[in-house]
Structure 1
Amino acid sequence: MSTETQSTQAGAGDRLVRVGAVVFFVGAVATLVTVAPLFLGTEPFPSVAYAVCMLMGAGFVIAAAGVLRSIAAQRRQARSAQ
């Protein structure tokens, strides 16, 4: 397998997976920060902070789309090789 084929195959969904991981991480940190006042007994954050927590799910969906895109690219390549 040539290097060009490997780089094309690897790049099909990699960017989406990376972006999804970053968005998921931001959402996870926001979730930890939002839950902290419940344990510390302080004033809860405004509802906007809870909306930022939804980035965790959005990041998961973005990363899953990247994985599916890379699977589709690999299947196309396997079919064309036959």
Structure 2
Amino acid sequence: KDHDGDRGEYALGRAGSSTGRARYVQQVERVRAYIGAGDIYQANIAHHLSCKFDGDPLACAQDLQRGAEPRYGATMRFEHRDL
């Protein structure tokens, strides 16, 4: 479970959004109105996804970074939480 190749296993449950479709559509329409009014020219609409997780957080983080190829990325390990 370290950077030397001894990778742990992990499993992810189905992801779900806490925003909901109706709220997301409302946010999109609001952004479109701002664009139409000339107040903005673009926006990033984000929403929270969550899922059940079991296993090695570092292995999951490595796979996510490999897939997304972020310019800057980090994994922080704490006693009771990994980010």
Structure ranking higher in strand proportion: 2
Question: Which TM-score applies when normalising by structure 1?
Answer: 0.31
Structure ranking higher in helix proportion: 1
Higher relative contact order (Cα pairs below 8 Å, separated by 6+ residues)? 1
Question: Which TM-score applies when normalising by structure 2?
Answer: 0.31
Greater Cα radius of gyration, structure 1 or 2: 1
